[in-house]
Amino acid sequence: MGERVAEVERKYEGGAPEVGVEGVAGVAEVRRVEADELDATYYDTAGFALATHRVTLRRRTGGQDAGWHLKLPATRADTRTEVHAPLGRGDDTPPEELRSEVTAILRGRPLGPVVRLRTLRRRTLLLDDAGRTLAEIAHDEVRTELPEDDAAAEPTNRWTPGPSWTETEVELGESGHPDLLDAVEERLLAAGMHRAASPSKLAHALGDRLTPPPRPPAEPATTGLTAVAYLHQQVTALLALDPAVRRAEEDAVHQMRVATRRARSALKSFGRALDREATDPIGQELKWLAAVLGLERDREVLAERLARRLAELDPELVGKPLRRRLRAPDTTGPSPHTALLHELDGARYFALLDALEALVAAPPYLRPAADAPAEDGAAAAVRRDHARLRAAVENALSLPPGEERDIALHDARKDAKRVRYSSEAATPVLGDRATAHTTRMKRVQQLLGEHQDSCIARDALIALRAAALAAGEDPAPYDAMVRRERDLAATVESDLPAAWESADQPL
C-alpha cells in the first residue's frame, strides 16, 4: 500500500486573492514562495463512483508533491486520508496499490480520466519561530478540461475547455494546531471569502453531473428512517473498513464482521417496516459475508484463547509436541487472509454492496409501519427483541448442564446481539434510555460470548487430544486445559441468572 497521511484542510471561495495573515497568534513568519504550475488528471468510473463516495484519485505533475494521490474521507472534521504513490515511468494507469484501496467502491468497473485540472498555485507559508511550517495557504487559479467525448473510463488525449474558478485552501502543517485554522479563517471571512460549496476541485469541475448519495437524517422522524439511518451507518462502515481488511490491519476483520452483523440484525429487527421479500435475500448474503469474515477472526480468537490456556499449565506438562500442536498453522489450503481476499474480490461481494447501496437509496418501506413515529416504532422493535432474548435465556437456564444447554446459550448469545444492535439503532430517537439498554445487553452478550468461546476451545482441545494420543503423545496437558475450559463455562452458567436479572429491565 502507498504512503498514508492525514490531510487537514479547509477550502474557501470569493474575496481578494491576497489576504493579510500577519500577526496571527503563534505565527512567527509569513513567507510567500514561488508559484507552482500543477497539471492533474483525475480518474473515476463512467458513473463517477469514486466522486460519489467523496473519493478522488489523480495523477499530478508539478509542485512539491508530484505523484499519484488518492484522497479518502475521514471521520474527523476538515480531514481526509491521503495515500501517495510515485508517478512511475510515464504510465497513466492508476497504480494497483491505490486501486486496491477502493476495490469495494469500484467493484470491477474500469477507471479512466474524467477531468484535467491546470492550476496556477500561489503559496504562503505560516512558520513558527523554528522555521517549521504551521500551515500553508494556497491561492489557486483553476482551469478545467473535460474529455472531448464526455465519457469516463475511456483512454483519451482529447480534451475540451471546462469551467474556471479561483479558490483558496488552508492546509495544516505537521507542526500546526487545529486552532490555527480558526484564526486564519477569521481573516479570510473578514476579507469577503466563504467556505467552498464543493468538497473538492473534482466535485466543482463535475458540477451537476455528480449526484451525491442520499444522507439519512441525524434525528429520524419515522420508524423507516430510523432503520435506514442505522443501515446507512453500517454500509458506510463496510466500505471504510474494506481497505483496512485488505491491508490486514489489526481488528479490521472483526470490525467489518460486526458492521455486517449489525446490518443483518437491523433488517430483522425492523422487519415490520421493511419489505422482507426485498430484504431477506440481502440478509442471507450478509450472513454469508459474516461467515467469510469469521474464518479468519474465529481462528484468531481460538489461537489467543489456547495461548492463554497454555500459559496457565504446569510447566512440567508443557513440551515441544504440545507447543507445536497448539501453534501449528493449518497448511492444508490457502491462509485465511488469502481466502478472505479472494471472496472480497469476487462478484458475490460486489453484488451485495450494490444491493445494500440500492436499499438505503430507495428503501422498500412497508406502510403504515414505516411511517409510524420513530420513537414508537424503535421502542417496539427493541421490546420485541428483548422479549425474544428473555425467552432464550429462560429456556437455556431451564436445561441441565450439557450439550443441549450449550447450544441454547449460543442461541441466546445471538439474540443478545440482536437486541443490543436494535438498541443502538434506536439511540438517536430514544436517547439515554436506549444507551443504557444497549450497555446492559452488551454485558449479557459478553458473558454469553465467554461461554461460547469456552465451548469452541474445549472442542478444539478434545480434537487435538485425540490427534496427540494417536501419535503416542501425553494427553495429560489437554485434559488439564479441557477441565479449565469446563470450569470457565460453568462459572458463566452460574453467574448468568443474576446477570440476567440485573439486565432484564424495561426499556
Q: What is the domain-level CATH number for residue 43?
A: 2.40.320.10
Terminal C-alpha separation, the chain: 46
Give the model's pLDDT for residue 215. 80
- Same domain? 165 vs 268: no
- Same domain? 250 vs 104: no
Q: Has residue 248 been placed in a domain?
A: yes
The pLDDT tens digits for 83-121 are 999 987 767 889 999 999 999 999 999 999 999 999 999
Higher per-residue pLDDT: 440 or 333: 440
- Angstrom CA distances, 271 to 215, 261, 364, stand at 21, 15, 11
Sign (positive/negative) of CA torsion 423, 424, 428, 433? Answer: positive
pLDDT for residue 134 is more than 80: yes
Region 129-147: mean pLDDT is 93
Contact assessment for residue 296 and residue 253, using Cβ atoms and an 8 Å cutoff: yes
pTM: 0.88
Q: Has residue 215 been placed in a domain?
A: no
Residue 144 sits at the vertex; the CA angle it makes with 59 and 9, to the nearest 5 degrees, is 60
Q: Has residue 170 been placed in a domain?
A: yes
Residues 6+ apart with CB under 8 A from 482: 458, 461, 462, 465
Enter the DSSP assignment of 141.
Answer: E
- Same domain? 111 vs 202: yes
Region 145-153: mean pLDDT is 68
Structural domain range at position 240: 223-503
pLDDT for residue 153 is more than 50: no
Region 225-233: mean pLDDT is 95
The pLDDT tens digits for 161-198 are 989 999 999 999 988 999 999 999 999 999 999 999 99
pLDDT for residue 433 is more than 90: yes
Give the model's pLDDT for residue 20. 83
Region 486-494: mean pLDDT is 96
- Same domain? 141 vs 230: no
- Same domain? 229 vs 203: no
E-only strand ranges, 94-132: 112-127
For residue 149, what pLDDT band results from cuts at 50, 70 and 90? low
Q: Has residue 214 been placed in a domain?
A: no
- Angstrom CA distances, 37 to 16, 142, 163, stand at 20, 10, 18
For residue 440, what pLDDT band results from cuts at 50, 70 and 90? very high
Q: Distance between CA atoms of 446 and 440, rounded to whole angstroms?
A: 10
Q: Has residue 216 been placed in a domain?
A: no
Query: Closest Cα partner for 263 from 417, 36, 429, 46?
Result: 417
Last residue of a domain, one of 209, 232, 252: 209
Residues 6+ apart with CB under 8 A from 415: 385, 388, 389, 392
Q: Distance between CA atoms of 26 and 9, rounded to whole angstroms?
A: 18
pLDDT for residue 151 is more than 60: no
Element (H, E) at 159: strand 159-172
Last residue of a domain, one of 162, 184, 209: 209
- Same domain? 97 vs 56: yes
Give the model's pLDDT for residue 243. 93
pLDDT for residue 271 is more than 90: yes
Give the model's pLDDT for residue 90. 65
How many structural domains is the chain composed of?
A: 2
- Same domain? 199 vs 296: no
Give the model's pLDDT for residue 329. 52
Q: Distance between CA atoms of 145 and 118, rounded to whole angstroms?
A: 8
For residue 504, what pLDDT band results from cuts at 50, 70 and 90? very high
Q: Distance between CA atoms of 264 and 242, rounded to whole angstroms?
A: 18
- Same domain? 15 vs 150: yes
CA gyration radius, the chain:
28
Region 202-220: mean pLDDT is 85
Q: Distance between CA atoms of 150 and 158, rounded to whole angstroms?
A: 10
Give the model's pLDDT for residue 334. 72
- Same domain? 411 vs 466: yes
Q: Has residue 217 been placed in a domain?
A: no
pLDDT above 70: percentage of residues in the chain = 96
Q: Has residue 43 been placed in a domain?
A: yes
- Angstrom CA distances, 394 to 202, 398, 419, 439, stand at 58, 6, 16, 20
- Same domain? 343 vs 197: no
Q: Distance between CA atoms of 469 and 463, rounded to whole angstroms?
A: 10
* Cβ burial 370-384 (10 Å sphere, 16+ → b, else e): bebebbebbbbbbeb
The pLDDT tens digits for 376-417 are 999 999 999 999 999 999 999 999 999 999 999 999 999 999
Residue 370 sits at the vertex; the CA angle it makes with 288 and 356, to the nearest 5 degrees, is 30
For residue 298, what pLDDT band results from cuts at 50, 70 and 90? confident
CATH of residue 409: 1.40.20.10
* Cβ burial 314-328 (10 Å sphere, 16+ → b, else e): eeeeeeeebeebbee
SS3 assignment, position 77 = coil
E-only strand ranges, 347-505: none
Q: Distance between CA atoms of 445 and 453, rounded to whole angstroms?
A: 12
pLDDT for residue 5 is more than 60: yes
**Mean pLDDT, the chain, integer:** 92
The pLDDT tens digits for 444-455 are 999 999 999 999
Region 205-213: mean pLDDT is 85
Give the model's pLDDT for residue 214. 74
* Cβ burial 71-90 (10 Å sphere, 16+ → b, else e): bbebeeeeebbbbebeeeee
Query: Closest Cα partner for 169 from 211, 210, 198, 212?
Result: 198
Last residue of a domain, one of 176, 209, 242: 209
- Same domain? 338 vs 472: yes
pLDDT for residue 155 is more than 80: no
Q: Has residue 449 been placed in a domain?
A: yes
Residue found by looking up cell 485554522 in the block: 181
- Same domain? 197 vs 55: yes
Residues 6+ apart with CB under 8 A from 295: 336, 339, 340
Q: What cell does 63 get?
A: 509542485
